[in-house]
Structure 1
């Protein structure tokens, strides 16, 4: 039973970052949710999205949580460290990210939900 519980416990975080011109941030946020985040919510254990607005650009950060690298790879269909750009990312993003960050979750404290 403990092994089954581990299937629902985050062990890996996948972090994606992208920047868009500030005047297109609201439009990109809506697009990113529909095209990228919504499908991710169905597969990952959890998803968090962040946005930092600056003078000329906005940075978006998406963190998804997974029980294992294998589970993440099953979703991405390939190497989970590869970036899978959304169809309109080139239209919005200042530059297309070349990588994602994969982190091992070591400890979690407090309530973050």
Structure 2
């Protein structure tokens, strides 16, 4: 069963470009190193003084997600650098069963 994993974070607008670069250079290779990852979509939405990042990853199974996130896959995974960027650290991610794709 394919599973979508969604994480949301927000950073001050003035750090958004730097965080985008960090996600591409640090987070994307980390995600990609895990067997069972099918797709990644890293998205952003700029607002006045805040930028929202939504990371959508698609995995082969919950077991594959556990290889990435650990034994409690509902908990968000953070990097030490996130303390500098993020306005807050949301504790949980959301998982969705993919029931159709083309």
With normalisation by structure 2, the TM-score equals 0.90
The answer to whether structure 1 residue 98 and structure 2 residue 91 are counterparts is: yes
SS at match of 1:45: strand
Aligned to 2:23: 32
- Ranges in structure 1 where 5+ consecutive residues have no aligned partner: 1-9
> Matched residue pairs, number?
100
Give the root-mean-square deviation of aligned CA atoms: 1.3
Do the aligned partners of 1:35 and 1:86 also contact (CA within 8 Å) in 2?
no
Distance between the aligned counterparts of 2:33 and 2:67, measured in 1? 13
Distance between the aligned counterparts of 1:75 and 1:51, measured in 2? 22
Aligned to 1:79: 72
Determine which structure has greater relative contact order: mean sequence separation of CA pairs < 8 Å that are 6+ residues apart, divided by chain length. Answer: 2
With normalisation by structure 1, the TM-score equals 0.82
Distance between the aligned counterparts of 1:77 and 1:52, measured in 2? 28
Q: Which has the larger radius of gyration?
A: 1
Distance between the aligned counterparts of 1:17 and 1:27, measured in 2? 17
Aligned to 2:32: 41
Shift of 1:23: 0.7
Shift of 1:83: 1.1
- Ranges in structure 2 where 5+ consecutive residues have no aligned partner: none
Distance between the aligned counterparts of 2:64 and 2:55, measured in 1? 17
Distance between the aligned counterparts of 2:88 and 2:65, measured in 1? 24
SS at match of 2:33: helix
SS at match of 2:30: helix
Which structure has greater strand proportion?
2
